[in-house]
Structure 1
Amino acid sequence: MTILVTGARGNIGGRLVSLLAEGGHRVRGSARDAATLRLPEGVETAELDLTDPHGAERALRDVETMFLYPTRGDLGPLLKIAHGTGVRYVVLLSSPAAYDAGEYDQPIGLVHREAERAVEESGLPYTVLYPSWLASNTRRDWAEQIRSLGRVGVAHPEAQVNPIHLDDVAEVAAHLLTDDRHRGRMQVLTGPRSMRLRDVVTVLGDVLGRSITLDELTEEQAIEQRAPWMPEAILRTLLAVTALGVGVLAPVTNNVERITGHPAREFAEWARTHRADFE
């Protein structure tokens, strides 16, 4: 039987495809445009729009378990087809935004809650993954400033987060898709420790071998300096949630180790692997 990984171009989906293929599993990776996929040799590709699943039967043929990437729109029709074609289990990637104070009733949280609702109503057995603050957020939000200026602007630098290595998220998903021992309704995944945003910047500097100047921003300054792709309303929500983390330890769980058999990786390990992105 086949494992379908939707969002196979993504940071987590792409790594998950590789892990499953390395483990000898039959894997199919999907994207809206299959021509954009660059997957390991032997991995099948499929064209699939999660919210307009015309022709989804082909992508779902012989699929037993499925990794579902969250997206805006109605996943119900796709999941109905999945149920009818014999899919037996789904892993849904979600976010603590679906339940955290300040986010669950805001746009990001609502998208994730709608995806969770669709999976629950599908009748398919499932597990929802809630990874903590993704280590790759540093690359998305800070890399350009660090490369070009050697400094980074951060609002609420005393706020605490728990960076999780994306490989740990992918490994947990791979275990759940291939082994039924930990298939609870949800798994909250975190890195090994709570860190201030200020300390995350320090670790990046240590990995790069140079000091990175941290400029503390007000929320309004952060809004003024936001990247063009970031909607103001979304950033305001993220800043409000970040403010709630000032002086408050971020949650820590042992679920990565419990499921994969190894401790959650340190943020520094992710930073060393992706050092070139900041140089």
Structure 2
Amino acid sequence: MTVLVVGARGSIGSRLAARLRADGRTVRATVRDELDITAPDGFEDVLKDVDSVFLYATRGDTTPFLAAARSAGVRYAVLLSSPASYEAAEYRGPIGRIHRLNEERLAASGIEHTVLYPSWLATNARRDWSAAIRAGAPVELAYPATQISPIHPGDVADVAAELLTHPAHRGRTQIVTGPVSMRLDEAVAVVGDTLSRAIEVRPIGREEAVARREPWLSEEVLASLLDSAAAGVGHPAPLTNAVERITGRPARPLREWVAENREAFAGQSVGKEK
């Protein structure tokens, strides 16, 4: 059985490919330069002998790829989606629309599948905060009291691996979360504890957050993200036991991921993310 892992350069795809290989599975790992699943054709070679597929949501039309996958005999797929697909503050926004469209296309393909919804990824801490923390600057948050349930990307990959190789938990959806709900500023404090130093959090208003928007981030997407953060203030983040139920071990805490990636925040030579 060959498992096709699309997006094998990503933080979850790379872990998934490594986990499957460690389990003795035959893996065909691809990156965007090698396989564009929004292309109109040309999928015959990559889909040969593939039994199951791991997919990321994408902005382009994946209908031709999915049709080719079904014709090639692919029996099962896991789609990494986002809670933005259904959460009240985001599902009407651009992020929610993109993910719902990917889910609808997969459902229409006729391939048996599970949509995987991970909570706030621990890697977001590195993406959003590491530059400021390395520089000794405050971490600026528009809604520091919004609650999240950070999940280790390795837990997402392990759940995906189980789904791709064993049928027991192949429901229509699986919502996977970290073990606890915490505020964003509490998550920053976890990083500080690991570094043995205090990290200042500076609350900023919505207008300031919009004014600081990066050019690559559209105003519509930023507005949706801010709406979601505002909705999470004062409300515990959803928690599930899906990681433990599917993998047989508890979800790992944020502190564990931060310790594994301490160099990214400490300003030392940054190695490959773990």
* TM-score over 0.5 for the pair: yes
Structure 1 distance, partners of 2:109, 2:120, is 28
> Where in structure 2 are the equivalents of 1:176-191 lying within 5 Å?
176-191=163-178
Q: In structure 2, do the counterparts of structure 1 residues 92 and 105 end up closer, same or farther at CA, with 3 Å as the change threshold?
A: same
Write out the 4+ residue segments of structure 1 that deviate beyond 4 Å after TM superposition.
none
> Where in structure 2 are the equivalents of 1:131-210 lying within 5 Å?
131-210=118-197
Q: Conserved in 1, the CA contact under 8 Å of 2:117 and 2:175?
A: yes
1:197-228 Cα deviation digits (max 9, x unpaired): 11001101001111100001111111222333
> Where in structure 2 are the equivalents of 1:205-224 lying within 5 Å?
205-224=192-211
> Where in structure 2 are the equivalents of 1:211-250 lying within 5 Å?
211-250=198-237
> Where in structure 2 are the equivalents of 1:56-205 lying within 5 Å?
56-205=43-192
Q: What is the SS of the residue equivalent to 1:192? A: coil
> Where in structure 2 are the equivalents of 1:7-22 lying within 5 Å?
7-22=7-22
Structure 2 distance, partners of 1:205, 1:11, is 23
> Greater CA deviation, 126-135 or 141-150?
141-150
TM-score (norm 2): 0.95
Q: Deviation of residue 229 (structure 1)? A: 2.6
Structure 2 distance, partners of 1:159, 1:32, is 34
Counterpart position of 1:267: 254
Q: Conserved in 1, the CA contact under 8 Å of 2:41 and 2:64?
A: no
> Where in structure 2 are the equivalents of 1:19-58 lying within 5 Å?
19-33=19-33, 47-58=34-45
RMSD, matched Cα: 1.0
Structure 2 distance, partners of 1:120, 1:174, is 20
Structure 1 distance, partners of 2:7, 2:40, is 14
> Greater CA deviation, 260-269 or 228-237?
228-237
Structure 2 distance, partners of 1:222, 1:146, is 18
Structure 2 distance, partners of 1:168, 1:269, is 12
Counterpart position of 1:36: none
Structure 1 distance, partners of 2:195, 2:263, is 9
Q: What is the SS of the residue equivalent to 2:29? A: strand
Identity among equivalent positions (%) equals 53
Q: Deviation of residue 99 (structure 1)? A: 0.4
Structure 2 distance, partners of 1:147, 1:25, is 39
Q: In structure 2, do the counterparts of structure 1 residues 139 and 228 end up closer, same or farther at CA, with 3 Å as the change threshold?
A: farther
1:257 partner letter: E
Structure 1 distance, partners of 2:136, 2:95, is 30
Q: What is the SS of the residue equivalent to 2:39? A: coil
TM-score (norm 1): 0.93
Q: Deviation of residue 156 (structure 1)? A: 1.1
Structure 1 distance, partners of 2:62, 2:176, is 24
Give unpaired runs (5+ residues) of structure 1: 34-46
Structure 2 distance, partners of 1:226, 1:205, is 25
Q: What is the number of residues matched between the two proteins?
A: 266
